[in-house]
Amino acid sequence: MAASKKYTLEEDHDLMDEVSLYNPFKKINSWEGLKKKLDEHPLLGRRSSKSLRDRALLIMDQRRTLVKQQEKASGIEEPERSDFDKAIDEALLIKQEAEEEQASSCSKKRRQDAADIAVLAAAEAGRAPAAPDLDVQPSSSTPDVTSTPTAKYRRTSGELVGVLKTKVEAEKAAREEERQERQRLEEARQEEAARLQRAAEEDRQLRREELNLKKRELDLREAQEKAMAKEREAMMQLLMQQLSKK
């Protein structure tokens, strides 16, 4: 049976609870991971990861708009937040933190790239990059590296391409390592889920065995009682026959 296209209030509430707990905005997590986490949910388990993401973002946008409207309204006290509102606000907070972390990381990377380009450009021009001012006065025995190109800083275009290629390969390796880490975490999660499932199955099997044992005990007791009743009945009949002969 296909899931209804329209989300219910219960689905929205459960979805935002899971978003605030799982945090799909983190690098090591994903909306696909949230989808797998919700596979056992009777309703959300039938939704796609894209549907879950779009619905969560829509709810968060609506909540953000409502809060802004309440802040602009004068003389109106903010209503008490429900558990649903708290879950949405928490999801908004972790989303904002993830965006700020990503922006900071991108900014840091841009600064590093700019510094690398400056160093490479200086090397390509045959001069040393600018060094920090250490308040050291140049002496007559110290060569002027800014005016005299040396082999240490002279690089060909091929070497420059090689440096950039090395940087790209390092970034690629870092992404691959991150992907493998996510995969390891997912495998660990699946192993834990399988372990819990096995434990639950063993518990159910143990309860079934206990019930079967109790049933056998009851059947045995019932059979014994029937046998004793028949024996008493036979003895009574024998006694009645003996009395009738007298």
Residue listed under structure tokens 């990377």: 109
Q: Which band of pLDDT confidence, cut at 50, 70 and 90, is reported for residue 58?
A: very high
133-189 pLDDT, tens digit per residue, is 444 454 444 444 444 444 444 455 566 566 666 777 777 788 888 888 988 998 898
Closest CA relative to residue 85, chosen from 59, 110, 57, 119 = 59
The one-letter code for the residue type at 33 is G
**Helix axes 157-245 and 83-124, enclosed angle (nearest 10):** 150
- If you write DSSP's letter for every residue of the chain in order, what string do you get? -PPPSSPPHHHHHHHHHHHHHH-TTSTT--HHHHHHHTTTSTTGGGS-HHHHHHHHHHHHHHHHHHHHHHHHSSS-PPPPPPHHHHHHHHHHHHHHHHHHHHHHHHHHHHHHHHHHHHHHHHHHTTSPPP---------TTS--TTTS--TTT---HHHHHHHHHHHHHHHHHHHHHHHHHHHHHHHHHHHHHHHHHHHHHHHHHHHHHHHHHHHHHHHHHHHHHHHHHHHHHHHHHHHHHHHHH-
Sequence-separated contacts (24+) of 131-137 with Cβ below 8 Å: none
Q: What is the pTM of this model?
A: 0.39
What average pLDDT does range 13-34 have in this prediction? 88
191-234 pLDDT, tens digit per residue, is 888 898 888 888 888 888 888 888 888 889 889 999 999 899 99
